[in-house]
Structure 1
Amino acid sequence: MQKILCIRFSSIGDILLTTPIIRVLKAQFPNAKIHIATKASFAHLWDGNPHVAQVHGYQGNLWEFAAELRKEGFDKVYDLHKNLRSHMLCLLLGKFPKQINKYTAARKAFVQTKLNTLPGHLVDRNFASLGLSPDVKGLDYFIPAAAQVKLADYGIKSPYVLFAIGAAHQTKVLSYPKMIELIDSIDHQVVLIGDDWDEKIGYRLATLFPEKVLNLCTRTSIAQSASLIQQAAMVITHDSSMMHVAAALKHPNLFTIWGSTHPGLGFTPYQTAFTAVENTNLACRPCSTQGSNVCPLGHFSCLNSLDLTVLKGAAQAL
C-alpha cells in the first residue's frame, strides 16, 4: 500500500490551510495512507480527520524525527511548509519532495509597491504549485465529541457574539479603546476567547462590562473554542488562526478585522462567506505580509481609525 508524507510543522491557521490538500490527495490516491509530519504541539489539529492515517509529532530533534519517519518507507513526500527545517527533513529522508510555491517575492512586492500580482487565494496557489486541482469543500476541522461545549456550563445564553480578540502580531489587533467601543454597542452577551497574551485584555473588558462580557481567554482548548465558534450567532475575529477555524466550520455569520495585513495577500477564509472589515482609505496598507508588533509609521491608523459600523449593525440585527 502506498504511503504519502505531508510536512507542515506549524502553525494553527497554516495547518488548517493545508487540509484541503490532504483531502484531495486522499481522493486522488484512495488506497494510500497519508501521514502528517508536524510539531507535536499541533498534532491535535488532525484529530478525527478521516483522510489521515497517522500523525508524527516533531519535538525538537530532527535527526531522531527523520529516523522515525524513514521506518515508514514513504513513496511520496509533499513539503507544505518549505522552510529550512522541512528542507533538512526531506534531505534526511532521502526524498525529493513536491513543494508549494510561497510567492515570497510577489508578497514582498505587494507590501513595498502596493501592486498585487498574487494569483488568488493561498490554498489555490498551493494546489497549482503541486499540480493538484482543488475541490469546493473548503477547510477541514473536526471537533472531538469530548470537546463539545455545553453553553450552560459556562453561563452562556444564546444568541451570543463570539469575539476572538487576539492574533499573532499586535498590528493585526484592534486597540483596547476600539474593543471597548465595539463591545459597548453590542446588546447581546459577548464571549471572548484568546491565549495568555489576550487574557489581561479579556479580564479588563469583562471588568468594564460585567453583565455582558464572559472572558474565556486561556480557559478553553482550540477544540473547545471551535465549539463555541460553531454555536455563536456571530463570530468576530482578526486575521488570525481563529478566523481559519471559523472558516473550516463554515460559520454563516463571520466577520474578519484587517489591520496591517490585507485580504489580497490570499489568507482570507477559504471557500466560505465572510465580511471583511478594513480601512481601505490608507495608502500604507499592507505594511507587512504577516503582521508585526509596531506600526512602521507610528500612527496605527489602519485599526485606530477603523469604522466599526458594519460590525455594530450586524450585532444589533441578531
Structure 2
Amino acid sequence: MGDAAMTVPVLRAFVLQHPEVKITVVSRPFFKPFFDTIPNVNFFGIDVNNRHKGFLGLVKLFLDLKKLNIDAVADLHNVLRSKIVRTFFALIGKKVAASNKGRADKKALTRAENKIFKPLKTMFSVHCDTFIKLGFDIDLSNPTFPNKSILSQKTTSIVGNKNEKWIGIAPFAQYESKVYPLDLIQETINDLSKNNDYKILLFGGGKKEIEVLDLLSKDNKNVINIAGKITFQEELDLISNLDIMLSMDSGNAHIAAMLGIKVITLWGATHPFAGFSPFNQPLESALVSDREKYPLLPTSVYGNKKVADYEDAMRTILPETIVNKIEKELN
C-alpha cells in the first residue's frame, strides 16, 4: 500500500508539468482511489487472481496494455512481474525505464558491520529519475494536494462534525519490529485525550487490529475506532480532513502525506534514511529509536528481519516526546 501511495505525489507533479502526456496507472483495483483525483490519469486494474495470473497472465496483461497504444513504460515497482511486462514492451521497441531501488546502498545502511549511516535518495526522487530516463523532468519543490473531501453521512454519524483538532493514529505496521508497544501507544492516546480540543481517530484493519483498537479507545470519550466501520474510500476522505496523523513506518503514513496532511512517524527497526519517509515531511517529524542504545539500527529496510535483544528498541521513544511533538505541530 505504501509503495502505491508514494507514487501519487510524483504523478501529481508530472501531470501539472507535462499536461500533454496521458498516464495510465497499472495496479491492483484496490488502489484505484489513490489516483482518482489526479487529472489526466487513467487506471487499469490488474486481475492477479484470474486473467493476469502467472506467466501467461502477464502475457495477457501485456496484450491488454498494448491495445492502449502506450508510447513508454515507467516501471515504478521494479519486481519480477513488472520486469517481465516491461521487457515485452521493450521487445516491440517501446521506451522503458525502471526505478532503481538502490539495494546495495540499502544493504550498506542496514548491515551490522561496516554500516554506512547516511541518508539515501528518497523513493520520490528515485521515481523522478525514472521519468527523466524517459525524457520528462519533474520538480517536486512546490507540491500540490487535493482539497479536503466532503465526508459521507455515514462517516459524520461516527466521528461527528469537525469542532476539534482531529488527530489520526495508525498504530500498526506489516512487521512487529515497526510497531510501537501497545502499552506505550495507550499511554500516548490517554495523554492526548485529556485535551478536549482534540478528537483522536484510530485507523487499522482486520479482525485482530479492530479488537486492539476497541481496547485502546474504550475508556476515552473523544477517542474513536474507525476500523471496519467505513469503506476504504471513506477512510481516505476522512484522512484528508485530519489535522495530523501519527503513524508507524507504514502505508497510512504515506496515504496521509499524499493528501497533504502533517505526519509524525515512529521508527523501530527501520529508519527514514532508507528513503521511505513520507512525502514532504521534515526529518524532525520522524521520531526514531535511540541508536546510542541500539547501535545496529536500522537493522532492516522493511522491518522483516528480527535482531536479538532489539525487540524493545521503540521503547526509547517516550510517549511524552510524541505528545509534545503533536501538540507543537497543532499549535
- Taking structure 1 as the reference length, the TM-score comes to 0.84
Q: Does 1:57 align with 2:45?
A: yes
Q: Aligned partner of 2:121: which letter?
A: G
Tell me: CA distance 1:39–1:301, structure 2 relative to 1, closer, same or farther (3 Å). same
Stretches of structure 1 lacking an aligned partner (at least 5 in a row): 1-11
For residue 109 of structure 1, report the CA deviation from its aligned partner.
Answer: 1.2
- Contact 1:127 1:133 survives alignment (8 Å): yes
Q: How do 1:57-136 residues align onto structure 2 when only pairs under 5 Å count?
A: 57-60=45-48, 61=52, 62-93=58-89, 94=92, 95-112=94-111, 113-116=114-117, 119-131=120-132, 132-136=137-141
Q: How do 1:160-175 residues align onto structure 2 when only pairs under 5 Å count?
A: 160-175=166-181
- Contact 2:265 2:286 survives alignment (8 Å): yes
For residue 38 of structure 1, report the CA deviation from its aligned partner.
Answer: 0.8
Partner of 2:312: 301
SS at match of 1:97: strand
Stretches of structure 2 lacking an aligned partner (at least 5 in a row): 53-57
Partner of 1:46: 35
Distance 1:128 1:239 in 2: 24
Distance 1:222 1:143 in 2: 16
Q: Does 1:257 align with 2:256?
A: no
Identity %, equivalent residues? 22
Distance 2:119 2:287 in 1: 21
SS at match of 1:98: strand
Q: Does 1:184 align with 2:184?
A: no
Q: Which moved more, 1:262-271 or 1:228-237?
A: 228-237
Partner of 2:280: 271
Q: How do 1:28-47 residues align onto structure 2 when only pairs under 5 Å count?
A: 29-47=18-36
- Taking structure 2 as the reference length, the TM-score comes to 0.81
Q: Which moved more, 1:74-83 or 1:277-286?
A: 277-286
For residue 298 of structure 1, report the CA deviation from its aligned partner.
Answer: 3.9
SS at match of 1:285: coil
Partner of 1:6: none
**Which of 240, 258, 283 is the equivalent residue of 1:248?**
258
SS at match of 2:140: coil
For residue 129 of structure 1, report the CA deviation from its aligned partner.
Answer: 4.5
In angstroms, what is the RMSD of aligned CA positions? Answer: 2.7
Q: Aligned partner of 2:11: which letter?
A: I
SS at match of 2:240: helix
For residue 205 of structure 1, report the CA deviation from its aligned partner.
Answer: 1.2
Partner of 1:5: none
For residue 288 of structure 1, report the CA deviation from its aligned partner.
Answer: 0.7
**Which of 7, 11, 29 is the equivalent residue of 1:18?**
7
